Amino acid sequence: MITEENKQGLFFMHSGDASQPYRYTVGTWGSKFLTELRDHKQFYGIRCPKCKKVYVPVRQVCGPCFTEMTELVPVSAEGKIVSYTILRFQFLDPETGERKPIPYGYGIFRLDGADTNFQHFIAVPEDESRLFIGARVRAVFREERRGSLRDILHFELVAD
Amino acid sequence: MRAVALCLCPFEGGMMARRVAIVGSGQTYHSGGRTDVNAQEMITEAVVRALESAELTIDDIDGIVIGNMDHFEGINYVDTWSVPATGGTLKPVIKLTTGGTTGTTLAIGGYHLVASGFFSKLLVIGWEKNSESDTTAAITTAFDPIWDRLVFAGAIGGLAVEAQAYLARYNHKKEDAARVVVRDRKHGANNPYAHMQKEVTIKQVLSSPPLADPLHFLDMCPRTDGACAVIFADEYSAEKICDRPAWILGTSVRHNAAFSTDVNFDGLKTMESAARELFHKTGITDPLEQLDVIEMYLPYSYAGLIWIESLGLCKKGDGPRLVWDGVTDMGGKLPINPSGGPICANPIGATGLIRVAEAALQIQNRAEKRQVPDAKIALATGFGGCFWTDLVLLGAKKP
C-alpha cells in the first residue's frame, strides 16, 4: 500500500502490485477443445441434439433448449468476418498487466460449420480497407502451443 | 390435487401483492472523481437527499437494498461495510448485483420486495466509484477467463463491433451516432447532477480521438463517481408520503447469453423480447405515441440508434431518421434522456437506478429544468452483461 496526497491535502491509498492468482477449472468439454487446438490445430464445436445448433466455443448446455450436449463436431479454422474493429487506444490488459501495441484488430468470426461466433485478434493489413464484414479469414497458430485460445496468434485475411 | 395447488398461492395467509410507487429519490453531484468523499460518504449523500425528497426519516425505512459492481473498486460486500452509511443499522440489508444492469435490477428487486407485502417503505441504493480503477480492465474481469477474457477487447471493443455491423447493414454514417451525443449532451446541460454539462457539436464528436472503429472518445459514456437512492413505497403509504407518486406499471427482464460472441448483431434481441412482454402486459400498442419520455441506458451513441429500433419506436434501420427529425429531443414527440443519460454520467452500479429515478422525477413533475411537460408515462431501461435488457414502466395513474 502506498499513500498519495493531493494538493488539497486529501489522501489516496494505492493497492500497489498486490495480485490474487486464481486456478480456473476448464471442464471436460473445454479441455477436449483445447487439447485438439494445441495438438492438431483443429477447432471443435458441440452440437445440440434438439435444435442441431453447433456451438463454438464448446459448452455443456444449449441455453435456449436447456439440453445437455455431448456430440463434438469438427469445425473449420476458416470462416468469415461477422464484425470487427481496429483498436486505436491502449487499455490495461488485466490478464497480462500489459498495454497492447496499437493499432490492433479484434474480430468476430463465423467459422465454417459453426452456428455461433468466435472472437479473436485479426491482423490489420497495411490497406485497412481490405478488412470488411463478410471477408474470408483463417486462424494462424503459434509454433509453441500450450492449450489456450492464445495458441492462436490471430486470424488473417485469406488471400484471394 | 386441485385443493393442494390452490394452497400453493404465494399470497396465502393474508399477504397480498401490492401496488408500488416511487415516492422520492436523491443523487450525488456526479463527477469524474469525487476525491473529497470515500464510497461510504458518497452513498450517504444520496441517501440523505432521497429521505429529504420524500420527507421521511431513516426510522420510516424498513429495509435496504444496495448494489454496485465490486470489481471496479476491488472491495467486495458493500452490504457489509456500507451499513452505517446507508442507515442500515439493525435493518434488513440485501445486496443485488448483475453487471451493467445492477441499477435496474436494484429497482426491480426493490419493487418485488415491496409488492410482496413484506416491506412497506424500502430504500434502494446504487453507486460506483469508477475513478478508483481502470474501468475497461475491470469490466474485462467480468468475462469468462478461458473463452472471453484472453482476447476480448474490453467494453469499448465489444460495443465497436455492434456499431460496425450496424453501419454496414444499413449504410448509415458516423454522423448519425454523433447526433445522439449532441442530443444527450444538450439535455445534460439542464441537469445539475450530470457529470458532463457542456454541449458538443457533431464535428467535435467526429474529431475526438478514435478509440475503436467506428467509435470516437465522445461516442462513449464517461467514467463517473456517483450514487443514487430511491424510496419505494406500497399503495397504503405512497399517497400519504407524496401527492404524486410514480407508480410502477410493469417491468421486464431478459438475459440471454453467457459469451459475448453468442449474440448476433441485428438488433438488441433482449430489448425486443422485453419490450414485447412489457408493452403487452401494460396495454402499450404504439410506444412512440403512448410513452411521454424515456430514460435510456445508452453506454454509447450507437445504442441510441440501434436500441430504439429494438424497442419498437420505428422499424429497423430507421433510428437515425427519428433522431435527426428531433422526435427524441426535448420538445419532440418522445424525448429521450432529458437528464443527458449515461453519455453525461455513468457511475455504473448507479446508472440503471438513475434512469428509474429520473423517469420517476418526470412523473412526479419534479425534474425542474429537464422536465418534460405533463409526463404521465415514462420508461426506464437498463443494459449490461452480454447485451441484457431491463425495462421499468412508470406512470402517474395508480394501476
Determine whether A156 is exposed, middle or buried from the number of CB atoms within 10 Å of its CB (0-12, 13-18, 19+): middle
Determine whether B161 is exposed, middle or buried from the number of CB atoms within 10 Å of its CB (0-12, 13-18, 19+): buried
pLDDT surpassing 70 at residue B9: no
Query: Once rounded to an integer, what is the mean pLDDT over residues B260-280?
Result: 93
Distance (Å, whole) CA A46 – CA A63: 13
Phi then psi dihedrals of residue B228, to 5 deg: -140, 140
Distance (Å, whole) CA B124 – CA B111: 9
Point out the least confidently predicted range of A100-104, B184-188, B350-354.
Answer: A100-104
Distance (Å, whole) CA A52 – CA B348: 38
One-character DSSP codes across B251-292: EEEE---SSGGGS-SSS-HHHHHHHHHHHHHHT-S-HHHH--
Domain with CATH 3.40.47.10 in chain B: 16-134+228-234, 147-220+249-394
Nearest by CB to residue B168, choosing from A24, A133, A148, is A133
- Strand B225-234 and strand B246-254: the pairing is unpaired
Dig out the grid coordinates for B187 from the structure: 439535455
Which pLDDT value is given to residue B225? 98
Domain assignment present for A1: no
pLDDT surpassing 50 at residue A104: yes
Domain assignment present for A18: no
Report the topology of domain B16-134+228-234.
Peroxisomal Thiolase; Chain A, domain 1 (3.40.47)
The answer to whether A87 contacts B162, with C-beta atoms less than 8 Å apart, is no
Domain assignment present for A138: yes
Q: Tens digit of pLDDT for each residue in A2-51?
A: 899 999 999 999 988 777 889 999 999 999 999 999 999 999 999 999 99
Distance (Å, whole) CA B228 – CA B239: 22
Distance of CA B398 to the CA centre of its chain: 22
Distance (Å, whole) CA A42 – CA A49: 22
Distance (Å, whole) CA A86 – CA A154: 13
Phi then psi dihedrals of residue B8, to 5 deg: -80, 5
Domain assignment present for A15: no
Q: Tens digit of pLDDT for each residue in B178-216?
A: 999 999 999 999 999 999 999 999 999 999 999 999 999
Which pLDDT value is given to residue B15? 57
| pLDDT band (50, 70, 90) for residue B154 | confident
pLDDT surpassing 50 at residue B13: no
Which pLDDT value is given to residue A94? 66
Residues in A touching B255 (Cβ below 8 Å): none
Distance (Å, whole) CA A58 – CA B147: 9
One-character DSSP codes across A33-75: HHHHHHHH--EEEEE-TTT-PEESS--SEETTTTEE--EEEEE
pLDDT surpassing 60 at residue B4: no
The answer to whether B386 touches B256, Cβ cutoff 8 Å, is: yes
pLDDT surpassing 90 at residue B389: yes
pLDDT surpassing 80 at residue B5: no
Domain assignment present for A23: no
Query: Once rounded to an integer, what is the mean pLDDT over residues A129-147?
Result: 97
Domain assignment present for A21: no
Q: Percent of chain A scored above 70 by pLDDT?
A: 98
The answer to whether A87 contacts B260, with C-beta atoms less than 8 Å apart, is no
Distance (Å, whole) CA B10 – CA B387: 32
Q: Which of A90, A99, A106 to mutate to test the interface with B (most CBs of B within 10 A)?
A: A106
Domain holding A151, by residue range, is: 28-157
| The CATH number of domain B147-220+249-394 is 3.40.47.10 | yes
Residues in B touching A84 (Cβ below 8 Å): 161, 164
Q: State ipTM.
A: 0.93
Count: domains in chain A: 1
Distance (Å, whole) CA B248 – CA A104: 46
